[in-house]
Amino acid sequence: MNEEEKPFAVITGASSGIGEAFARGFAVMGFNLIIIARRENKLQELAVELQKEHEITVLTIKADLSKIEEIDAVYEKLRETKNISFLVNNAGYGIPGSFIKSDLTKQIDMINVHNIASFQLCKAVLPQMVERNIGTIINVSSISGLIVKFGNVTYTTTKAFLITLSEALQEELKHTNIKIQALCPGMTESGFHNTKELEKFDRSSVPKKFWMSSYEVAQKSLEALSKKRTVYVPGFRNRLIVTLSNSKIFGKIIKSLAKRKLSKKK
């Protein structure tokens, strides 16, 4: 297969963390790439490295997916690109604060990044996947979307949306060879907590054994595709956290402990 015939894998939020790990994984597998993020310099550095090491084509798109017009632009580019076999909707971030006190614009921006962009990019690539009867979409959610809890309302709600979107799409496409996965990682070593909004987050408050590397999350996600599991939580500890948090007895204990920790930081 020559380079032009290689299928494309599209990854949003590809400049660091889980998105970068997916990009590196697909490059090793021989896919051409379309990598999307806000930081153009990071994208270019990654593109040059992966093209040189793996002899693939890497296209970069600088886009801020909190802006509807930039989501629209990416949507049109993907609609025009043939032979897309993978889409990883990974772009995302967190903001601290309660629903009432958090800035409305920042909350709407998060909805755009997590939900509107993911929804629209699924819409961009699915027609060609259905036509070829093959393709995979991974929507990067979070265990927060599975846990009934107090906390950041906007983040939890947008991540729950991605889970429902994935389940509904998979049901609609159950008679095809297209796979949809809602990837729900827990604490991950990535650039997620390196933002200005989360600079006060104390990483040591979470035991090391509960952290996973971005590479491990991406690798486990791809391995889980063969099991045809739409909602996938990587790591036994993360699955245990979800189960216990949603139980009536242990859930109350976990929430109580979390509230004490948060109150001490204020």
Specify whether 155 is catalytic. yes
Q: Per this entry, what is the length of the chain?
A: 266
Sheet hosting strand 178-183, strand order edge to edge: 58-62, 32-37, 8-12, 84-89, 135-140, 178-183, 231-232
Catalytic residue among 93, 155, 215, 232: 155
**Listed residue (145, 142, 125) closest to 134, CA to CA:** 125
b/e sequence 212-245, b meaning 16+ C-beta within 10 Å: bebbbbbebbbebeeeeebbbbbbebbbebbeeb
* 36 SS3 class: strand
Active-site amino acid positions: 155
